[in-house]
Amino acid sequence: MPNDSPHPQSANRSGLQAVVVPLPAEIDTTNHSGVYDALARALRARTKVVIADATRTRFCDCAGVNALIRVHLEAAAAGAHLRVATSPALRHILKLTGADQFLNADATVDAAQNSAGQWPSSPACTDPRESPAELGY
């Protein structure tokens, strides 16, 4: 991931420990694996809530959307939760691709933290055996 992203930060709202992982301004084929790795690392730390802070993300291609969906599925399999704090641009991309049906998106990090205790995760596809490729991503 680019050096402009700070390290993950812990936050405690709604009674659950959440880790906020800042995402870069652009997510594409050159850095999507770094985005996935940072989110998956936070998940492997047995965090119950991972918040992807994409409020500064202006561009995200299908590789980036796929990385977010993969982490969402892995979080569900681990009994954890992924929330994405989105910029308007990313929110639009998620809607265009249909990924907004799978991902729990909020307009701000604070909103994501306040919503962190809302279970279950999104109504569509929380079965970790369903891969993004099987879903058309």
Closest by CA position to 61, among listed 28, 110, 104, 85: 28
Query: Would you tell me the crossing angle of helices 62-77 and 88-97 to the nearest 10 degrees?
Result: 80
Q: Is 135 inside a domain boundary?
A: no
Query: What count of Cα atoms within 13 Å lies in the side-chain half-sphere of residue 59?
Result: 7
Tell me the pLDDT of the chain averaged across its residues: 82
Task: Specify which residues 18 forms β-bridges with.
Answer: 11, 49
How many domains is the chain built from?
A: 1
Query: What count of Cα atoms within 13 Å lies in the side-chain half-sphere of residue 32?
Result: 15
What pLDDT, on a 0 to 100 scale, did the predictor assign at position 118? Answer: 59
pLDDT at 134 over 60: no
Which residues span the domain enclosing 86?
A: 9-115
Per cent of the chain over pLDDT 90 is 66
Q: Is 1 inside a domain boundary?
A: no
Query: What count of Cα atoms within 13 Å lies in the side-chain half-sphere of residue 99?
Result: 29
